[in-house]
Structure 1
Amino acid sequence: MTGQLRSATLGIAMAFTGFAAQPALADSGGVSFWLPGIFGSLAAVPVTPGWAYSTMYIHLNEKAGAGQNFVTSGGIPGSVTAGLKAHADVLVMGITYTSAMPVLGGQAGFTVLTAPGNIGVGIDATLTGPRGNAISGSATDNRTTLTDVFYQGTLKWNQGVHNELVYITGNIPSGTYDSSRLANLSFGFPAIDAGAGYTYLDPKTGHEFSVVGGLTYSFMNGALQYQNGIDFHLDWAASQFVSKNVHVGLTGYYFQQITDDSGPGAKLGGFRGMSVGIGPQIGFMIPMSDGYQGYLNIRGYKDLETENRPNSWSTWVTFSVSPAAPAPAATKPIVRKY
């Protein structure tokens, strides 16, 4: 494979970045602001400037046994429960603008997105309320609602097969958070995340490897009087282009909370979470007319190990439409006159 692979990948790299929507139980429910697996293959590769549109369907299942405790809301701010089940189906919709004007020698992009979806949550054996009152039994909640509004800014650089990325992302609370409900797709607090990444992409061999790491700072959830600790996350992906339009590979993540949860609602103390996950992926580039191209990516993740977080598996289906890379200029034949 040659430079055709390079040109084709430029227009679809944004399909792998900037999408975050999840059951928003916060670290207090064993789930963080950052959804591990957001970044994938080609994360740091610069793209063709212009407007791009992406949709991402995410199905997420989480389960924690009765021996694992979590702080939840559900009308009892700061209550501690033993056992938790959750599922979510969301459709993330995002718009990205990539500037043709260099910024600090790199390529700047900005994404805004949100997602409607359905979330269901079940808990067993509520143990204590915020005033120490003993409560027992189980509760379930199911809700179709809207996530927060998410934003992300990126800067990308390219030097041959090496590509670098820095990013900052956060949320604007949508107002749909309800502390009296177990099921929420919004957070009830703002958060900010920043980090850097690297992609190795060799158009000649079709080899690709990407890794992105970052830190998340969450503000206080006023309804629960609970503030999540600082989280560290590392997303990675490796793939092989088996043809100009198809690549296959593996993706994975490592998540570790590095400071304690805090606030009057932090009934379980520091409650630092950790998870490690891995899964397969396949991607298809779809030629389109009028200077645009499509991209379809399917990937999944399964937790291999968790601590203070539910065990989860998830399925991701992404489809994006973005500007196609310009076709290489035709080389004029050399005509010699004697």
Structure 2
Amino acid sequence: MTKTKRLMGLMALLPAITAQADDGGISFWLPGQFGALAAAPTEPGWSLPLVYYHVSASEGGSKPFPRGGRTTVGLDAKADLLFASPTYTFAEPLLGAQAAVSVVAAVGRSEASVDATLTGPRGRAFSGGTDDSLKGASDVYLLGTLKWNHGVHNFMAYSMGNLPVGAYDPDRLVNTGLGHASMDAGGGYTYFDKTNEFSAVAGMTYNWENTDIDYQNGIDAHLDLSASHFITSQTHLGVVGYVYHQVTGDSGSGATQGDFKSKVSAVGPQAGHFFKVGKELWYANLKGYYEFDAENRAEGWNTWLSLVVPL
């Protein structure tokens, strides 16, 4: 296994964006966070994946959306976040697999505006538009992976959860903390023959209740996809995509819009490049997604600029 392949596998360690609950049509799991060669083993030891994430999305102005302690229509939202994900990959096998653990956190700025607020926090009623912005830190996310390599075939199992310690206020329109705990788990596959790669990672999310607003999100299912071709030994080009679908409804006294199941799909381009810094091989990747077929969820576009730093 080449060092390029092992380092490329670090792209699987991209973090999940901090988000509001599904009551805002936004999930704990950020679709698209697994990328090229997601299941490929990585270089043992410490590494530092860094990710800049930008998202711009909006909701239709005619459908009411529950959001924290309010019901709104006509949301426009943007966010810019910088994630750091210190990761340790063990040299000794566990269950015949390569094990790795990551601690993920972010800082950033989120902003949003709505055309109207139908029901405000604590039951107060409002009309007319409003906006909000927030600079803050995210929850802390914990990610663990197990990866098995069999020639050109690679397999992965993962689990991810959060400690809800980020900035969160149910009376705000935007937050950088989640407001409740969640757990996600799944598996993935990567085919890689040193020239072409294909990766698919599927998982499901369970959400605990947000006691501030008496709202519990349903179970979410998601699939991240990547396919690319190495045009040189250092550069690859390809496409990425994802499918997200909420399989059970939301519940609790705060779920005023019923089960409010959401879904969205996306596709877009990607490019990656290896380059040397001193004696170490670093990796940069740029990918973007255009969303479509959204239901009960904001729809728009997002970009990821990532840098994998071997330590």
Residue type of the alignment partner of 1:135: F
Alignment of 1:181-260 (within 5 A): 181-203=172-194, 206-260=195-249
Alignment of 1:1-338 (within 5 A): 6-22=2-18, 24-73=19-68, 77=69, 79-129=70-120, 134-203=125-194, 206-290=195-279, 292-322=280-310
Query: Deviations for 1:210-266, whole angstroms, at most 9, x for unmatched residues?
Result: 000000011111111111100000000000011110000000000000000001100
How far, CA to CA, are the matches of 2:137 and 2:242 in structure 1?
A: 26
Matched-pair contact (CA < 8 Å) for 1:12–1:294? no
Matched-pair contact (CA < 8 Å) for 1:294–1:322? yes
Q: CA deviation at 1:130?
A: 7.2
How far, CA to CA, are the matches of 1:175 and 1:131 in structure 2?
A: 22
Structure 2 gaps, min length 5: none
Matched-pair contact (CA < 8 Å) for 1:215–1:233? yes
How far, CA to CA, are the matches of 1:173 and 1:250 in structure 2?
A: 33
SS of equivalent to 2:85 = strand
Matched-pair contact (CA < 8 Å) for 1:18–1:111? no
How far, CA to CA, are the matches of 1:129 and 1:20 in structure 2?
A: 29
Q: CA deviation at 1:150?
A: 0.7
Q: CA deviation at 1:276?
A: 0.5
| Number of matched pairs | 311
Q: CA deviation at 1:82?
A: 1.4
Matched-pair contact (CA < 8 Å) for 1:197–1:213? yes
How far, CA to CA, are the matches of 1:178 and 1:80 in structure 2?
A: 15
Matched-pair contact (CA < 8 Å) for 1:250–1:280? yes
Structure 2 CA distance for partners of 1:165 and 1:133, relative to 1, 3 Å: same
Query: Deviations for 1:247-304, whole angstroms, at most 9, x for unmatched residues?
Result: 00000000000000001100000000000100000000112334x3210000000102
Query: Deviations for 1:74-115, whole angstroms, at most 9, x for unmatched residues?
Result: xxx2x2111111100000011000000000001000010100
How much identity, in percent, do the aligned residues show?
44
Q: CA deviation at 1:134?
A: 4.5
- Structure 1 segments of 4+ aligned residues over 4 angstroms from their partners: 129-134
Structure 1 gaps, min length 5: 324-338
Residue type of the alignment partner of 2:302: S
Q: CA deviation at 1:68?
A: 2.4
- TM norm structure 2: 0.96
Flag the structure with larger Rg: 1
Q: CA deviation at 1:148?
A: 0.5
